[in-house]
Amino acid sequence: MELEFVCHASVIVRTPGTAIWTDPWLFGTAFNGSWSLLPEPSFDLQRLDEIDYLWVSHEHPDHFHIPTLRSLPAEFKRRVCVLFQDLTSTKMIDAFHRLGFEQIRTLRHREPVALDPHTSVYCYQVGQMDSCLGVTSGGKTVLNINDAEVSPRDLVILRSDLGSPDVVLTQFSIAGYSGSVDVDRHLPPKAEAKLQSMVEIHRLLEAKVTVPFASFVYFSCADNAYINEYANTPQDVVEAFDRAGLATAVLYPGDVLRVGDSHDSQQALERYAQDCSDPSRRTYESGSRVSLEDVEASFRKFCGRMHEKFPAVVLRLLRPVVIDIPDLEQRIRISVAAQRFEAGVAEPPALIVNSQPLDCAFKHPFGVQTLGVSARLKLLRDERNWRLHRLLCSLDNADVSLRPSRLLTRENLRVMRRRWRGALAQVAHRLAIRRA
């Protein structure tokens, strides 16, 4: 079995009988134009005939990258089989079909599936939307954790189900920010916590080698570029693992790792160091402006969606939020519960957000999550209130309704039964990290 690195979270896992391409992102940006690839991918479209399966871990756009998926040839989409986690909602399956993919196979949580006599795959669902993929062939296992926030309990289960993986692939750097303005107090510990999480994952799985990936991006807007100063590098990963006495393999796009063989990471590390030190490799966008009228229209549709899914008693937990919109020189107060949008207010803001990312946050079910992942906001005060907004928006995006008329429906109960335990474990894990 071998592993070829394409870019970011995209690899090709080859076994004697099968080739699986994961999370393809070959060009363009993600998260509302806020992330860009660094370095560039290495992938020859002439080799698409070699790919048998396409695995997408979850709906975030650096994994489910619609422009890349849309651009792939029609013949490839007819032939290849898409692997995706089994969910109660069909929205992702419908999205694959709209993109032209004809063969889609869903993978149930913790149920191994044979793809051929030599290869089996295993899906492990994490939280509300994430999933990991295990690929086993010839007595060897590659475990792709991508950016799933696995808890110690998850790792114990994975170790029990899969045994000790030969290769673990996992995210290694900052992938978003809450927006707290004291960045020097918050971001260095956040970056260090990611490295320590990688070490913990390796140890609890008793893995043989860890490959850092799923962080080969830079924050590429004028209002989030500051995050790049605090990002981990592959060299940081190697040094953290060396201190812990654990093994890593660093791959540059186009590099191939033969599972079970030793790997020299030095050349890849040197190329990454060049990428990080060369400012010409990065460009930054200032972002477009959206009129206040359009922002208000998006907010009112957002309110309609929230009131459809959540009862008034729940929405009243969301206190009004005052937001500065610097590029429009406006300050607004919004209330989801009262469906009120007021401009020209004088009280101090809780958030600072430019008009385009704010409009995106209101316009799409995934918009508020995107605002945090893209780090295109500043949070000045009232963190708890904003966290409650994010929580309800996360439930909205997961198609969970708390209205009494829908709460006990078969579909809602299936979502809660299958994902709620994982979501609660994920929250508990985050709180444990925060307390530490």
First to last CA, the chain: 39
Which range of residues forms the domain containing residue 344?
292-402
Tell me which of 281, 315, 344 is where a domain ends: 281
Contacts of 35 by beta carbon, 8 Å cutoff, 6+ apart: 29, 62, 217, 218, 219, 220, 374
Q: Do 271 and 130 belong together in one domain?
A: yes
Question: In 10 A of CB 202, how many CB atoms?
Answer: 22
Please answer whether residues 375 and 361 qualify as being in contact, where contact means their C-beta atoms are separated by less than 8 angstroms: no
Tens of pLDDT along 46-77? Answer: 999 999 999 999 999 999 999 999 999 999 99
Model pTM?
A: 0.91
From the list 42, 111, 53, 60, the residue with the least C-alpha distance to 83 is 53
Rounded-to-integer distance, Cα 257 and Cα 246, Å: 17
Q: Do 230 and 298 belong together in one domain?
A: no
Q: Do 47 and 186 belong together in one domain?
A: yes
Question: In 10 A of CB 203, how many CB atoms?
Answer: 12
Does position 419 have pLDDT exceeding 70, yes or no? no
From the list 29, 64, 22, the residue with the least C-alpha distance to 43 is 22
Q: What is the CATH number of the domain that holds 340?
A: 3.30.1050
- Note the pLDDT of residue 426: 43
Tell me which of 281, 313, 345 is where a domain ends: 281
Q: Do 191 and 63 belong together in one domain?
A: yes
- Note the pLDDT of residue 407: 60
Please answer whether residues 326 and 352 qualify as being in contact, where contact means their C-beta atoms are separated by less than 8 angstroms: yes
Rounded-to-integer distance, Cα 395 and Cα 141, Å: 34
Please answer whether residues 63 and 57 qualify as being in contact, where contact means their C-beta atoms are separated by less than 8 angstroms: yes
391 SS3 class: helix
Sorting pLDDT into bands at 50, 70 and 90, what band is 411? low
422 SS3 class: helix
Please check whether residue 228 lies inside any domain of the structure: yes
Q: Do 179 and 75 belong together in one domain?
A: yes
Q: Do 22 and 137 belong together in one domain?
A: yes
Q: Do 48 and 133 belong together in one domain?
A: yes
Lowest mean pLDDT of 67-76, 110-119, 261-270, 413-422, name the range.
413-422
Q: What is the CATH number of the domain that holds 94?
A: 3.60.15.10
